[in-house]
Structure 1
Amino acid sequence: MNIYIEKDPVQNLWWVRMNQWAANFHSLAEAESFVERLSSRINAPHSLGAIGNNSLSPTLASNSQPLDQQAVSDSVKTLSHA
């Protein structure tokens, strides 16, 4: 992810840009604090496998069916045309 700070002199704001997303701040200190917190969270250790294997409801997990990719695709198409 590309993260950088830029000054907008017209609006007197500081922008933190993150790829296609941006957030504005009223001071450079606020922007730098945000970037520091964001960077620490991005660089923190993550264990997605452990999260994905935990079930909130053991009964639901034992009765669950495999994901039907075609049904998901059809649902997405329906939503995008709504």
Structure 2
Amino acid sequence: MKIYIEQNPAQNRWRVHMGLWVASFRSLDGAESFVERLNSRINAPHSLEMITHHPLWSETISSSPPLDQHDVPHSLKQLSQD
């Protein structure tokens, strides 16, 4: 995702662009602080194990039947083999 800051002189605001999303700030300091926090969260280590400890995910994962390879459409199998 491309993240950048742009000044909007017409509204005397600063905009942080994140792909198609835009957040508006009153000051450059506020925009820069947001980008710094966003980047630190994006670059933080993530693991599936952290997600599975969430009650909603744990319940969904444990109650889901195992995936049968024959249930997957042929087009998806082709994509996963490339």
Give TM-score scaled by structure 2 length.
0.66
Q: List structure 1 segments (4+ residues) > 3 angstroms apart after TM superposition.
A: 64-69
Residue matched to 1:16: 16
- 1:21 Cα deviation after fit: 0.2
What secondary structure does 1:7 align onto? strand
Partner Cα distance (1:13, 1:66) in 2: 51
Partner Cα distance (2:7, 2:44) in 1: 28
Identity %: 62
Residue matched to 1:43: 43
What RMSD in Å do the two structures reach over aligned CA positions? 2.7
Give TM-score scaled by structure 1 length.
0.66
What secondary structure does 2:14 align onto? strand
Residue matched to 2:58: 55
Deviation string for 1:14-60 (max 9, x for gaps)?
00000000000000000000000000000000002x12487248xx8
Partner Cα distance (2:58, 2:11) in 1: 48
- Provide structure 2 residue ranges, at least 5 long, that are not aligned to the other structure: 73-82
Partner Cα distance (1:8, 1:37) in 2: 22
